[in-house]
Structure 1
Amino acid sequence: MPEYLIYFNQSWVGDHTQEWFRSRVAPSTAVVEEMKQAGVYVFAAGVEENGPIYTADPTQGEEVAVTDGAYVDQPDHLGGFAIVRVDDDEAAKYWAAKVAEGCGWPQEVRRVW
């Protein structure tokens, strides 16, 4: 059964109040629970926005260079993701829509191979 990555960039979230974000906790948590109950859940997580970032780059010499900071400083960065194991693209799109509705911002979905 194929696996799909459902994800969003932090810039897609938009500017909202803390109250609005708190209002998204219950519906987004409910979607995760629904995925678990349906047997499609593999993993889901948000990415720390202000946490440490490291880059591992094998193109800078004979050894892999591991440095502090993003590989490319850009406004778009991964905000969170879920991995689901479902039968087909239609099921993946269904769960992406549920996640988008629960979170309140757009999601992309791609097959993992």
Structure 2
Amino acid sequence: MAKYLISFPSAAMVVPDGEFEAVVRDSHAIIEETKAAGVYVFGGGIDESVPPVLVAADGAVAEGGYPWAPTLDGGFAVLEISSRDEAVKWAARIAKACRCSQELRVFGFDPQS
């Protein structure tokens, strides 16, 4: 079994007027389905009201993230699934619920983590 990150940046979620409540309902429903199927690990969204800080190896803290990297925002879910094909199917269902495409990535296994 592998863990898959299914995610989208905030800018990808463009919800037509009047549909936001339906998106919330549908996205919560698909997450409940992942839980019922036993594949849900965790999920949520980046709290964009709290700015990131960059913490160096010496403990120094600087406001903001990496200056050269794109902003990390949006929502994500981590699912533990037996195959990439199954992960694609779940990602498609999440995309339908959220009304936006989802990126699918696999986590590398680290036996020490």
TM superposition score normalised by structure 1: 0.83
Distance in 2, Cα, partners of 1:44 & 1:105: 17
SS at match of 1:71: coil
1:4-83 pair list within 5 angstroms: 4-14=4-14, 16-17=16-17, 19-58=18-57, 63-72=58-67, 76-83=71-78
Deviation at 1:16, TM superposition (A): 4.3
Structure 1 residue runs without a partner (length 5+): none
Distance 1:8 1:37 in 2: 23
Pick the aligned partner of 1:99 from 94, 101, 109.
94
The gaps in structure 2 that reach 5 residues or longer are: 109-113
- 1:111 aligned partner: 106
Output the TM-score relative to the length of structure 2: 0.83
1:90 equivalent in structure 2: 85
Change (3 A) 1:15 1:37: closer
Cα separation, 2, equivalents of 1:11 and 1:75? 12
How many residues of Structure 1 are paired with residues of Structure 2 in the alignment? 108
Amino acid at match of 2:63: D
Q: Indicate the percent of aligned positions where both proteins have the same amino acid.
A: 36
